[in-house]
Amino acid sequence: MSSKGLDPEVASDSTQDGPPKQVSRFTRWYRSPLFNVIIVGLISFTQPGIWNALNSTGAGGQQEPYLVNGANSLTFGIMVFGCSAFSILANKFGVKKVLIFGTLGYAPYSASLYVNNRYGTEWFVLFGGATCGLAASALWAAEGAIALGYADVHNRGKFTGIWLGLRELGQLIGSSIQLSLNVKSGQRGKVGYSTYLILIALQCLGLPLSLLISSPHKIIHPSGRTVADPTKNKAVMKEFHKWVTLLKDRRFYLLIPILVGFNWNSTYLGIYLTKYFSVRSRTLGALTSGIAATVANIFWGWFYDLKYFSRPKLAKVTWALFSVIMLALFVWQTVNENLYEKTVPKVTLDWANPGFARGFSVNVLFRFMNESHYMFVYWILGAFFDDLETLTLAVGLMRSFESIGACLAFGIGAIKITPMINLIVAFVMFVIGIPTTFWATFLIPERPIDLRSGEGEGDNDEEEEAIKGNPGPILAAVDPVTI
């Protein structure tokens, strides 16, 4: 449905059959893609954002990383299968229902860290890891699909930036609370248990926020277009076959190595913080890491939607830049780790001590680059695939392979091997993904077509000429399951 000729003060309620009816300004805002992506961002703030705040202090704020790394390995082990399963269920039962379920399991995990910190109870941490794995599987599959699928193609960079930027608000607020409660602790150890109570309360806000999300067919788009209820006439096995076909799609399977390996260094950084930094420096690290990630989300969300560069060229240059910077960071940190490992007596990096900036800044830069990789991969998925159903399956698959890497990384982090070995493994995993990801950038189309509205993101005449003159990339963008 085209927006041409519509009164800007009139929008149609796409949930009703028959003639469109006029709706209020409030309804247009409440049902708008922007409002929904903001709510998804706030949900992400209360759930994985707070989880990140805890883990950015190193080992969930604990003194030793091994139990928490084991619980995290269990979480991501469940997500290996859970993310794809919930993406299939989301196409059958609706992304909103799956999103609501995804808000129920994070708070028990944070509560388990509180109980372990105060009373030493260990089994509850593993139980919390399991509930978090189930919830995160549902949340990750649904929130990414909403952030990408509700947006028009030309707004996907901005919407992804809003969503992930609000998620980092959780880390910023959570780590600010942690820093204020632990600012006097200049020695190594664990975070005070009172820190967890505030963070648990914040995580409980996720459920009421999820009830504000609109289903896809109820969204009122600025262009006036409508979307049919994506859950109608869906069968689980049919969606599973679509999932298998998507897995065989070259545009997706070329991304698998980087999905598995790019965030592997996060486990090492958790060990690094607990091993060498004071408590207050760890909480400062969580705060500055959140700031770095927020800057990455804002910058790349704006940059990817610019019209000054062609998408294929932008993808190639961006990935080449990322690869060079990451390799330089790994070299820098290898030198740091070698120095701290051999220092006698054991080093404690605190902001009051000399040499702190050298060891601290690399953690912040790694966090910036990890978030930049998130933005990059989501942007690629949004350039390859357009309709909500395919994006839901693609996001679920993406999260499943990312979870494989995280599960293995935290599993290695749970055994008592040297931090240097963890760092070397993270380096190798990243290097493996460089050539395949670069190959994937050559498959990005110039002008992906918005299948739901039947129009390209640019001028219609230009799109028609592009299709006539060079049908290959356009057709590749249209067919979400081309092998």
Judge whether residue 229 has pLDDT over 90.
no
135 within 8 A of 101, measured Cβ to Cβ: yes
pLDDT digits (tens, 9 = 90+) for 109-160: 988 888 887 787 888 888 999 999 999 999 988 888 888 778 776 777 788 8
pLDDT for 101 equals 94
CA–CA dist 232, 212 (Å, integer): 22
DSSP string, 341-409: HH-SSPP-B-TTSTTHHHHHHHHHHHHHHHHHHHHHHHHHHHHH--SHHHHHHHHHHHHHHHHHHHHHH
Place of tokens 């149609």: 12
Q: Which two tokens stand for residue 88?
A: 């299939």
List the single range of 225-234, 321-330, 387-396 with lowest mean pLDDT: 225-234
Q: What is the per-residue pLDDT across 377-423, written as a single tens digit (0 to 9) for each?
A: 888 887 887 777 788 888 888 888 988 888 888 777 667 778 888 89
Q: Is the dihedral of CA 258, 146, 300, 305 positive or negative?
A: positive
Query: What confidence category does residue 447 fall into, taking pLDDT thresholds of 50, 70 and 90?
Result: low
Lowest-confidence segment of 30-39, 241-250, 347-356, 429-438 by average pLDDT: 347-356
Mean pLDDT across the chain: 77
- Give the pLDDT score at 184: 61
Per residue in 232-274, pLDDT (tens digit) is 656 677 888 888 888 888 888 899 999 988 878 887 888 888 8
Q: How many CA atoms lie within 13 A of 297 on its CB side?
A: 19
- φ/ψ bin of 105: left (φ > 0), alpha (ψ from -120 to 50), beta (otherwise): alpha
Could you give the CA distance from residue 84 to residue 86 in angstroms, rounded to a whole number? 5
Angle CA 164–166–168, to nearest 5: 75
The alpha carbon dihedral of 149, 151, 156, 160 has a sign of negative
Predicted confidence (pLDDT) at residue 38 exceeds the cutoff of 90: yes
DSSP 63: S
* 469 vs 229, residue with greater confidence: 229
Across 313-318, average pLDDT? 90
Question: Dihedral of the CA atoms 432, 376, 422, 75 (nearest 10)?
Answer: -110
Beta bridge partners of 22: 12
Contact 92, 231 (CB under 8 A): yes
Question: Which of 9-13, 349-353, 410-414 is most confident?
Answer: 349-353
Residue 167, both tokens: 């998620």
Q: Which of 163-172, 187-196, 247-256 has the highest mean pLDDT?
A: 247-256
Q: What are the Cα distances from residue 184, in Å, to 1, 54, 393? A: 60, 18, 47
Structure tokens at 447: 């002008």
Contact 19/138 with Cβ under 8 angstroms? Answer: no
Domain boundaries, the chain: 25-443
Helix (H) or strand (E) holding 455: strand 455-456
Q: Which residue has the tokens 């091997």?
A: 417
Q: For 298, what's the count of Cα atoms within 13 Å in the CB-facing half-sphere?
A: 9
**Dist. CA 95–CA 391, nearest whole Å:** 12
Q: State the pTM of this model.
A: 0.69
* Amino acid present at 59: A
Domain 25-443: give its CATH code. 1.20.1250.20
Strand partners, 450: 455
User: Which residue has better confidence, 58 or 201?
Assistant: 201
Of the candidates 263, 200, 270, the one whose C-alpha atom is nearest the C-alpha of residue 57 is 270
354 prior amide bond cis, ω within 30: no
Among 54, 47, 76, smallest CA distance to 290 is for 54
